[in-house]
A and B are shown apart, each in its own frame.
Chain A
Amino acid sequence: EVVMTQSPATLSVSPGERATLSCRASQSVNSNLAWYQQKPGQAPRLLISAASTRATGLPARFGGSGSGTEFTLTISSLQSEDFAVYYCQQYNNWPRTFGQGTKVEIK
């Protein structure tokens, strides 16, 4: 099983600042990686597929990068609606696996 490790567990950021979230895979997943956002009481929302392809309608301030075992989600200028938990997920191998999540909170 591919283990996905996200860091940090919690990221405290001021509105307008840049947030950088990391996701590491225990073995190469090529570019078969997705990022999701989840707000309290809501279902997850797909942000990024294929490591860097933004979902339809996703603001340009969200960007994904990386391949192999190291991936990054960057939010260039945090808005109030961006404070949430973010998960990475690999779909290169079965079973599909998620990281444990990074909570982005208001500083």
Chain B
Amino acid sequence: EAQLLESGGGLVQPGGSLRLSCAASGFTFRSQAMSWVRQAPGKGLEWVSTIDISGGYTHYTASVEGRFTISRDNSKNTLYLQMNGLRAEDTALYYCAKDYSNYVGSMDVWGQGTRVAVTS
């Protein structure tokens, strides 16, 4: 069974940094594009970033471009999200998700999320 387990969330001051991790199991991680999606408290889903299978292509939502970096280590079956210059509006539950396929950008496996709170 495919599973994703996020970690690394926490409480951070504005301007601070965090690195989220997502450990994958039960599927061939190196063959799947991966994404981060976030959900602010009481709000809807917001796509954050996607990385292709090799890590050579990445995409970001405009509000995090230049501050967040998605990466992956296929030898460790782990996805990362380095978050710098954090703002109050980045406060959310961050989900790691597996793309359905390299040609279909729906997301068919989700972790349970890790919480990020940005507050002074």
Contact = CB atoms under 8 A, between A and B. Distances in A.
Interface of A: 1, 32, 34, 36, 38, 43-46, 48-50, 55, 85, 87, 89, 91, 94-101
A95 B60 contact: yes
Interface string B61-77: 11000000000000000
B45 A50 contact: no
Nearest to A35: B106
B106 A43 contact: no
Contacts of B113: 43
Contacts of A45: 110
Interface of B: 35, 37, 44-47, 50, 59-62, 95, 100, 104-108, 110-113
Nearest to A42: B112
A38 to B, nearest CB: 8
B100 A46 contact: yes
Contacts of B110: 43-45
A43 B45 contact: no
Contacts, number: 62
Contacts of B61: 95
Given A49-B100, A49-B106, A44 B46 contact: no
Contacts of B108: 46, 49, 55
A98 B44 contact: yes
A99 B45 CA distance: 8
22 contacts: A34-B105, A34-B107, A43-B113, A44-B45, A44-B95, A44-B107, A46-B106, A49-B100, A49-B106, A55-B108, A87-B45, A89-B107, A91-B104, A94-B59, A95-B62, A96-B35, A96-B47, A96-B59, A96-B105, A98-B46, A98-B47, A101-B44
